[in-house]
């Protein structure tokens, strides 16, 4: 009888790095299709950028609280079920978006951010269990590169589908991607790390580990740098489409700006190679400075809509330099026995970045016009360039 052999990354229970690249790719499809369409929907429902900022800030609070509950959930129902719950929440969010009311939009955003947190935290834990520590530095640029296609096409496609076929088309496709993610995940049958004790241990309390996390300089630095990077992208996803609409370029132009800007993620392998050549510290400083300066320049170019759009895209290209390092500073610094708790604390950077910038921008927009958002965001990146000097030279 003839034997058939599957590639290692397809073998259930023992996936290689490529399996996780595939999972991150499918997750990126589910995440990116609504990423420009939802801010535009929020603008239409709430009327102006200041109110949209308030909505995103409030959702960020809920997302932060929800993400801190994930360690308790992983203890009670195991990691695979937390991943499944995250996928189901993303599917539910897509359904809520199709109703197109203020209440369902807020509920959908909340479901999406908590679902995305559950998916990201559990996937990162599986990566730490199954990808060798020495391979992580190469894994991060590879992961981002293969997801770049979804990030480049998804925002524009979501806006285009919604404009031409209705909300059900854009959000329905995103829900289908989330369902495919769950199907692939369960096919792989990923297991818990047997080296980690279970049994009668008390459920991990992330609040307990906050002090320990921020007492470690390398972990603290990795969190601040990741928060700044994610905060810039959160600003880009929300305010680039709003800029396009309020300046007269139109909704599809807003989706195109986000997609073209995210196409810069195809450059991440190049930035990763330069990181290995010149060091992470030098590349991150260069990335934060370039992205910060070009983001401030968006405010100067704002009176000329297409020039402002070009500057936003240039800023995204510069920000992709920062993504060349990804989460490597954290993955290289975390101790193996503290991975679940510290990964959860580290994961709060995403929700902090979804909470603090919109809250600050909501205050700014009460007194200033939209370009003030780009000035504040650019200056924050220039400040982070200073802190990047403290990355160890050997990294």
- Give the mean model confidence (pLDDT) for residues 168-197: 84
> What confidence category does residue 196 fall into, taking pLDDT thresholds of 50, 70 and 90?
very low
The rounded mean pLDDT for the chain is: 85
3-state secondary structure 232-273: HHHHHHHHHHHHHHHCCCCHHHHHHHHHHHHHHHHHHHHHHH
Could you tell me if residue 13 is left (phi over 0), alpha (psi between -120 and 50 degrees) or otherwise beta?
A: left
304 contacts: CB under 8 Å, gap ≥ 6: none
281-315 pLDDT, tens digit per residue, is 888 999 999 999 999 999 999 889 999 999 999 99
Distances from the Cα of 354 to the Cα of 58, 209, 310, 341, 393, angstroms: 9, 22, 24, 21, 30
- Residue 287 has a pLDDT of 92
> What single DSSP character describes residue 303?
T
- Give the mean model confidence (pLDDT) for residues 380-384: 94
- Residue 272 has a pLDDT of 77
120-159 pLDDT, tens digit per residue, is 888 888 887 777 666 666 676 777 778 888 888 999 999 9
Q: What is the C-alpha separation between 336 and 201, in angstroms, rounded?
A: 18
Q: What is the C-alpha separation between 287 and 296, in angstroms, rounded?
A: 14
- For the chain, the 3-state helix, strand and coil shares in percent, each to the nearest 5, are 80, 0, 20
Cβ 137 vs Cβ 280: under 8 Å: no
Residue matched to tokens 């590169």: 145
In CATH, the number for domain 13-390 is 1.20.1250.20
Q: What is the C-alpha separation between 254 and 259, in angstroms, rounded?
A: 9
**Helix-then-strand count for the chain, H and E:** 17, 0
Q: Where are the domains of the chain?
A: 13-390
Distances from the Cα of 67 to the Cα of 51, 71, 295, angstroms: 24, 8, 29
Q: What is the C-alpha separation between 51 and 9, in angstroms, rounded?
A: 46
Collapsing DSSP to helix, strand or coil, 4 comes out as: coil
- pTM, 2 dp: 0.82
- Residue 269 has a pLDDT of 78
Cα atoms in the Cβ-side hemisphere of radius 13 Å centred on 128: 27
Helix (H) or strand (E) holding 182: helix 167-188
Measured in residues, the chain has a length of: 395
């Amino acid at each position: 009888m003839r034997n058939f052999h599957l590639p290692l990354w397809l073998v259930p229970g023992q996936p290689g790095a490529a399996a996780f690249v595939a999972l991150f790719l499918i997750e990126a499809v589910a995440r990116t299709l609504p990423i420009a369409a939802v801010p535009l929907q929020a603008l239409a429902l709430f009327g102006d950028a200041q109110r949209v900022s308030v909505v995103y800030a409030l959702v960020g609070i809920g997302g932060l609280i929800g993400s801190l509950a994930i360690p308790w959930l992983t203890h009670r129902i195991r990691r695979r079920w937390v991943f499944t719950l995250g996928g189901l929440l993303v599917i539910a969010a897509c359904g809520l978006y199709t109703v197109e009311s203020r209440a369902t939009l807020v509920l959908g955003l909340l479901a999406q951010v908590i679902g995305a947190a559950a998916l990201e935290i559990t996937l990162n834990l599986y990566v730490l269990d199954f990808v060798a520590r020495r391979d992580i530095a190469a894994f991060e640029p590879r992961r981002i590169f293969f997801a770049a296609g979804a990030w480049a096409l998804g925002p524009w496609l979501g806006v285009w589908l919604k404009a031409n076929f209705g909300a059900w088309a854009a959000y329905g496709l995103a829900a289908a991607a989330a369902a495919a993610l769950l199907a692939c995940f369960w096919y792989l049958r990923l297991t818990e790390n047997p080296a980690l004790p279970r049994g009668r241990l008390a459920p991990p309390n992330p609040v307990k580990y906050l002090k320990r996390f921020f007492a470690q300089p390398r972990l603290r630095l990795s969190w601040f740098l990741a928060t700044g990077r994610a905060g810039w992208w959160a600003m880009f996803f929300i305010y680039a489409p709003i800029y396009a609409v309020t300046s007269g370029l139109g909704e599809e132009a807003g989706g195109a700006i986000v997609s073209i800007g995210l196409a810069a993620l195809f450059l991440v392998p190049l930035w990763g190679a330069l990181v290995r050549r010149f060091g992470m510290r030098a590349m991150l400083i260069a990335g934060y400075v370039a992205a910060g300066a070009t983001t401030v320049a968006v405010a100067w170019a704002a009176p000329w809509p297409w020039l402002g759009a070009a500057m936003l895209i240039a800023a995204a290209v510069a920000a992709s330099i920062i993504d060349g390092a990804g989460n490597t500073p954290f993955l290289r610094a975390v101790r193996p026995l503290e991975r679940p708790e510290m990964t959860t604390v580290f994961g709060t950077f995403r929700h902090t970045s979804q909470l603090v910038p919109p809250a600050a921008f909501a205050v700014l927009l009460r007194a200033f016009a939209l370009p003030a958002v780009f000035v504040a965001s650019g200056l924050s990146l220039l400040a982070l360039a200073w802190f990047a000097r403290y990355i160890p030279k050997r990294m």
